[in-house]
């Protein structure tokens, strides 16, 4: 496994599409796919998507506060809608990170930052980490998803308590507290710990040589909680905006009511998009290869699933269910994914198709069998060990 610093700094820009991979057997060649006509972004369409997402989300905040003051029983339907719109905000932020939603890179950057504030997460550092995932999808030596899954060997070397705790942390219900931590707590803790780490470095430098300038100290600093100056700037500005919005909204809404509503929305929306991301890469038969012999093209076709959701959920998730196409070419905006999939459907006939009913089954596959390049459930591993 590479360390986090290597993962983040290895990718400066989102991947446009996977390269051809020689020797991948029956996998179609990159040149077989018709992708180029679908790459062009449409600013008018993108602007409409932002308007029809952010405006309803803001309106729902007003409505849910009024409803909560009248009767708590009026709030659940509004909260469900807020969770879905929050998830759509994240999906559009994801497109901005790939420079695909708008034609202009600065516009994608600005809108992505705004959507990151809405979701509580610094968009630029997140998009760089996500680009690493695209570059190494299916290579489980380098990237093992948001759950940081371990190999079967590592799991079997654990004692019974460690094994139980590992499974507990990866239970589907842990998506909710885990999602809350991911959006609400982690970015704030990362900034505080990073600033303390930076300050400690400065003190050490001055202790060793009081004549050192601030620029010299900065040049010798090796960050632990961010990887570039731009990531730090995005992390800092995001925290200022997010925490500032908490203070303002708590003042006008009331701290108690605000945090009850905000916590529910953030925890549930994060659980939703983490769940979707997980099942689009962790499923029975998913391509889970070692670095040696790994094929990025096969990773896009066999290491991602086609998630067939009801049309209303496709809208709220910005068609990310067409995930094979997204991994074949991340510069295709969400509003062209479906058309591109239909155009190339014959080349994706072997891709795994999942429905909403099959999602719970995917959470069984939390171990990587490195020797056989596949994912396994704990039950499968224990059964094989018993034989």
12 in any annotated domain? no
Structure confidence at residue 9 as a pLDDT band (50, 70, 90): very low
Q: Give the structural domain span for 50.
A: 34-386
pTM of the model: 0.89
Residue 23 in any domain: the answer is no
Q: pLDDT-derived band of residue 44, with 50, 70 and 90 as boundaries? A: very high
Residue 66 lies in a domain: yes
**pLDDT for residue 26 is more than 90:** no
pLDDT-based confidence at residue 16 (cuts at 50, 70, 90): very low
Question: Which neighbouring-strand residues pair with 305?
Answer: 352
Does residue 19 sit within a domain? Answer: no
pLDDT digits (tens, 9 = 90+) for 195-211: 999 999 999 998 988 88
Closest C-alpha to 21, from 232, 376, 295? 295
pLDDT of residue 304: 94
SS (H, E, C) the chain: CCCHHHHHHCCCCCCCECCCCCCCCCCCCHHHCCCHHHCCCCHHHHHHHHHHHHHHHHHHHHHHHHHHHHCHHHHHHHHHHHHHHHHHHHHHHHHHHCCCCCCCHHHHHHHHHHHHHHHCCCHHHHHHHHHHHHHHCCECCCCCCCCCCEEHHHHHCCCHHHHHHHHHHCCHHHHHHHHHHHHHHHHHHHHHHHHHHHHHHHHHHHHHCCCCCHHHHHHHCCCCCCCCHHHHHHHHHHHHHHHHHHHHHHHHHCHHHHHHHHHHHHHHHHHHHHHHHHHCCCCCCCCCECCCCCCHHHHHHHCCEEEECCHHHHHHCCCCCEHHHHHHECCCCHHHHHHHHHHCHHHHCCCEEEEHHHHHHHCCEEEEECCCCEEEEHHHHHHHHHC
Cα–Cα separations (whole angstroms), residue 297 to 111, 301, 363, 384: 30, 6, 25, 31
Q: Does the pLDDT of residue 221 top 80, yes or no?
A: yes
Cα–Cα distance between 37 and 237 in angstroms, integer?
Answer: 36
Q: What is the spatial distance between Cα 325 and Cα 91, in angstroms, rounded to a whole number?
A: 15
| 233-264 pLDDT tens trace | 999 999 999 999 999 999 999 999 999 999 99
Q: Is the pLDDT of residue 19 over 90?
A: no
Overall domain count for the chain: 1
Mean pLDDT computed over every residue of the chain? 91
Count of residues for the chain?
A: 387
Which two structure tokens, joined as six digits, stand for 202?
Answer: 């400065």
- In this predicted structure, the answer to whether residue 14 has a pLDDT above a threshold of 60 is no
Handedness of CA 13, 14, 20, 22 (dihedral sign): positive
Residue 2 included in any domain:
no
Residue 23, pLDDT above cutoff 90: no
Does any domain span residue 56?
yes
- In this predicted model, what pLDDT tens digit does every residue of 97-115 receive, in sequence order? 999 999 999 999 999 999 9
Give me the pLDDT at residue 12, please.
Answer: 42
Structural domain contains residue 20: no
The yes-or-no verdict on residue 83 having pLDDT over 90 is: yes
Distance CA 167, CA 385 (A): 18
Q: Burial level of 259, CB count in 10 A (0-12/13-18/19+)?
A: middle
What pLDDT sits at residue 384? 85
- 22 within domain boundaries: no
Condensed to tens digits (0 to 9), the pLDDT of residues 303-355 reads: 999 999 999 999 999 999 999 999 999 999 999 999 999 999 999 999 999 99
Position 4 pLDDT exceeds 50: no
Q: Which residue has the tokens 């496994």?
A: 1
Q: What is the pLDDT of residues 261-289, one digit of tens each?
A: 999 999 999 999 999 999 999 999 999 99
Confidence (pLDDT) at 21: 44
Instruction: Please give the average per-residue pLDDT across 43-72, as a whole number.
Output: 97
């Amino acid at each position: 496994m590479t360390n986090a610093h290597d993962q983040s700094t290895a990718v400066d820009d989102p991947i446009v599409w996977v390269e051809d991979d020689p020797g991948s057997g029956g996998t179609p060649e990159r040149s077989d796919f018709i992708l180029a006509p679908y790459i062009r972004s449409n600013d008018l369409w993108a602007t409409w998507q932002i308007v029809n997402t952010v405006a309803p989300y803001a309106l729902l905040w007003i409505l849910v506060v009024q409803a909560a003051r009248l009767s708590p029983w009026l709030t659940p339907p509004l909260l469900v809608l807020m969770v879905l719109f929050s998830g759509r905000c994240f999906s559009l932020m994801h497109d901005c990170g790939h420079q695909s939603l708008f034609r202009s890179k600065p516009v994608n950057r600005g809108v992505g930052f705004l959507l990151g504030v809405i979701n509580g997460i610094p968009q630029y550092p997140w998009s760089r980490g996500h680009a690493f995932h695209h570059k190494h999808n299916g290579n489980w030596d380098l990237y093992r998803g948001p759950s940081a899954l371990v190999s079967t060997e590592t799991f079997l070397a654990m004692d019974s308590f460690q094994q139980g705790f590992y499974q507990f942390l990866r239970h589907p219900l842990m998506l909710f507290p885990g999602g809350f931590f991911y959006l609400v707590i982690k970015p704030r803790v990362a900034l505080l710990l990073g600033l303390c780490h930076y300050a400690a470095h400065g003190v050490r430098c001055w202790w060793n040589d009081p004549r050192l300038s601030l620029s010299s100290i900065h040049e010798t600093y090796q960050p632990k909680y961010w990887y570039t100056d731009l990531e730090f700037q995005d992390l800092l500005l995001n925290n200022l905006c997010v925490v500032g919005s908490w203070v303002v909204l708590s003042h006008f809404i009331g701290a108690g009511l605000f945090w009850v509503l905000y916590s529910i929305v953030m925890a549930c929306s994060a659980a939703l998009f983490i769940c979707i991301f997980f099942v689009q890469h962790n499923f029975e038969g998913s391509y889970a290869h070692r670095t040696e012999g790994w094929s990025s093209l096969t990773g896009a076709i066999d290491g991602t699933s086609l998630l067939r959701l009801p049309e209303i959920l496709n809208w709220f998730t910005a068609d990310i269910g067409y995930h094979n196409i997204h991994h074949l070419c991340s510069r295709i905006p969400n509003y062209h994914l479906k058309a591109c999939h239909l155009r190339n459907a014959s080349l994706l006939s072997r891709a795994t198709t999942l429905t909403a009913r099959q999602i719970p089954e995917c959470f069984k596959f939390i171990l990587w069998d490195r020797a056989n390049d596949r994912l396994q459930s704990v039950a499968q591993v224990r059964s094989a060990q018993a034989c």
